[in-house]
Amino acid sequence: MILEHTLIILVLCSAVMTLLGGSIKRQYGYPPLRAAAAYLAGVVGVGIYATQSFVNDTSHRYFFELPEEDGTLLNPLLRLMVAVLVYSPAIAYGALMLNGLAARFLVDTVYRPSAIRRPKSSYKRAWAMAHKGNTAVAVRLFRKYYEEDPTVPDPLFYMAQLLSHDQRHMEALQRYGEIMRRFARDESVWARAAFDCADLYELKLRQYDRARHLLESIVQRAKDVQLRELAEVRLGRLPLP
């Protein structure tokens, strides 16, 4: 019975970790660093606790005892079950998350919207409205900031992000489309808007064909090798048509 209970608990741990990892991946796509770190820390904690408690509770001389040695087969067996049923799904989702974080880091830092990037603190009134939940006012303020300096696309990106967070995905897509039209000659800005657009289509709207079209456009248009490779990697994760 001890082994059966152990196996059931490990299977439940595996299911919880798999569901948690899948939920984070679906919710964020490219999760915040804190979310990925918390998930991986939780997995390690569960695995260590499971190994220690199960081995301590079930290692008895009358259970799977070796006749000629002072030990049991249960300890390595439990460690194997922990590795297979807890750490395997954790490693798989952890790899997906870290890959997503790396891709987002490339898009957000290497391919920044502009060389003259204005810090978020410059838009403090808009951010104050956003933090209060007044998205409509924040969006209007970001529009005003953009009209004051149309050479910097950051306010348009922030508008799109706020609208997407508010579940107004179609309006967010319109803002990304506006960025792609207005900054068509700036490859880094155009590509970042295209990547964000593809994210919305894939992760929120489940319109994989539109996401694929945008990523293929990046592959065809981008002169930068890293941008093309990043788009190709993203294409590889989309479901087959």
Does one domain contain both 143 and 89? no
Instruction: Give the global pTM.
Output: 0.55
115 within a domain of the structure (yes/no) = no
Give the domain extent around 34.
Answer: 2-110
Q: What is the pLDDT along the chain (241 residues), one digit of tens a residue?
A: 455 566 666 677 777 767 776 676 665 555 555 666 666 677 777 767 666 666 665 554 444 443 444 445 556 666 677 667 667 776 776 666 666 656 555 555 544 444 344 555 568 888 888 878 888 999 999 999 999 889 989 999 999 989 988 889 999 999 999 999 999 999 889 998 999 999 899 888 999 999 999 999 999 988 888 888 888 888 888 887 7
Look at residues 54, 83, 110 and tell me which one is the last residue of a structural domain.
110
Look at residues 67, 82, 110 and tell me which one is the last residue of a structural domain.
110
Distance separating alpha carbons of residues 195 and 112, to the nearest angstrom: 12
3-state SS class at 100: helix
Does one domain contain both 8 and 63? yes
